[in-house]
Amino acid sequence: MGQSGFARFLVAMIAIFLVFLAIAIGWLVLRGDSSLLRNVIIEHTMITPNADGDLDATPVSYELSRNATVSIFLEDEEGQRYYFRQEQPRGIGEYQVLFSGIVEGYELPGEEIEGQILARLLQDGDYTWTITAVDKDGIEESVSGPLTIAEADDQLPEIRNFSLDKRVFTPNQDGIDDRVQIQFFLPKEVTSTRVFIITPEGAELPVAELEREVEPGSPGRHYFDYEAGVDNKATPPPDGDYPVIAVVEDAEGQKIRVEDSLTLQYGGVPRAEIISPPVGDTVEFSTTAIPLCESVTFTLTVQNYGTTPIRTTGPAPGTVYDSDWNYNTLGWHTESGAWRVAIGYENEISNYPYRWALGDLEDLEKIGDHYYLMPGERAVVTGTIRLVGPFGERNPQPVWGGLIHEDVEISQFNNRVDPHDILVDIADETNMIECEPREIPAVKSAASN
């Protein structure tokens, strides 16, 4: 080969080499090298996580060339490891996250904390951070570097003296254990407070905080009230045992969780009605006209058509009232949550002055110290009123039945049921008689509590 031929050959080889070099450089630019974990950057080598807005956190960024499982952790000078992320699956791409000194919960030697520490600040000191990625073939790559934690506000947002005021809870508006109160003490201000019940399906039922002198999130004692939604006519969870959980988080991101348990019994929205028979009156009165000092008797049937027992109280069916008495006269005062059959009229001084229990002993079931009409059960209730004067200003007067859920409601369909005009036959003033005085009946009832 001549000199000129060799020169041409050399030029050709150099050109081919340059083409391959350009292709290789382009490939690297477009596809990068073969490493799994790339471009790892921890922007700051020191952070001061105290929520003052200055160096509270540092950006952490990295890139994955393949799908991998990623862990990010720190080790102190004694080699103790603290995880920020542990074996989290990640896809191809670039990632960035802020690290504020918060790692998975841990306890210090000799420390006694109520509940579980879910997330906690690292203590002041020098640490080595490490990001590790492992692909599906088990190839692992790691990058490490130094990080200093300083001026950390590491006071935990503890939940102290977490307690329930009762262990067994019966949300059915019977006035007995209808609500449960949850309370605890916070020594430190928090940015988030959650109290909830967990259902068997894993759903969270939130519990509202009561407004007291301590504002939500502030240091002090906090109270939460739970009635299972019955006040809003919602069906409560099924009877059973339920975890009660509180979780709080402070401005630094530290998080504490505590747990207790609660048993729910006889839960449900109470439902009862006065039954309208196919034939005849819903409220049957013995007469529509009556001489002074004589008595009128009513009969009706009440049914519990709900899924929870309904509590009742006296006086017993059959009790005789004088028309100028009321249930307070007999000593059977209003009881929040109790149900009673009642008789009212147009010009009554007090609402439904004559009241009776929903049944006798054979109609009711005793639960604890109280008597209940059970779900699906019905009872015939009678009562008598001796007329020592007319029913109010009008004569005849509309008189009706009612079914009262005391201090809760008188539902529309249980109010002013089946009115009847009843005339009290009263002589003129010159022939007016006085009814013979009668002793107030003893306070006894099948439904006494």
The last residue of one of the domains, among 118, 149, 180, is 149
Same domain, 331 and 223: no
Same domain, 164 and 123: no
| 261 in Cβ contact with 242 (< 8 Å) | yes
Q: Is residue 447 part of a domain?
A: no
Same domain, 278 and 258: no
Q: Is 278 exposed, middle or buried (0-12, 13-18, 19+ CB in 10 A)?
A: exposed
Same domain, 233 and 279: no
Cis peptide bond N-terminal to 396, omega within 30: yes
Give the count of domains, the chain. 3
The last residue of one of the domains, among 96, 114, 149, is 149
Domain that residue 397 falls in: 272-431
- Taking the C-alpha atoms of residue 176 and residue 434, their distance in angstroms, rounded to an integer, is 44
Same domain, 283 and 408: yes
Same domain, 66 and 177: no
Same domain, 346 and 239: no
* CATH code for the domain in which residue 366 is found: 2.60.40.10
Same domain, 292 and 422: yes
Q: Is residue 443 part of a domain?
A: no
Same domain, 181 and 89: no
Whole-structure pTM value? 0.80
Same domain, 325 and 388: yes
In tens digits, the chain (449 residues) has pLDDT values of 555 655 665 655 665 666 555 554 444 444 446 899 999 999 999 999 998 999 999 999 999 999 999 999 999 999 999 999 999 999 999 999 999 999 999 999 999 999 999 999 999 999 999 999 999 999 999 999 999 999 998 899 999 999 999 999 999 999 999 999 999 999 999 999 999 999 999 999 999 999 999 999 999 999 999 999 988 888 999 999 999 999 999 999 999 999 999 999 999 999 999 999 999 999 999 999 999 999 999 999 999 999 999 999 999 999 999 999 999 999 999 999 999 999 999 888 889 999 999 999 999 999 999 999 999 999 999 999 999 988 877 889 999 999 999 999 999 999 999 999 999 988 777 777 889 999 988 665 444 45
* CATH code for the domain in which residue 233 is found: 2.60.40.1930
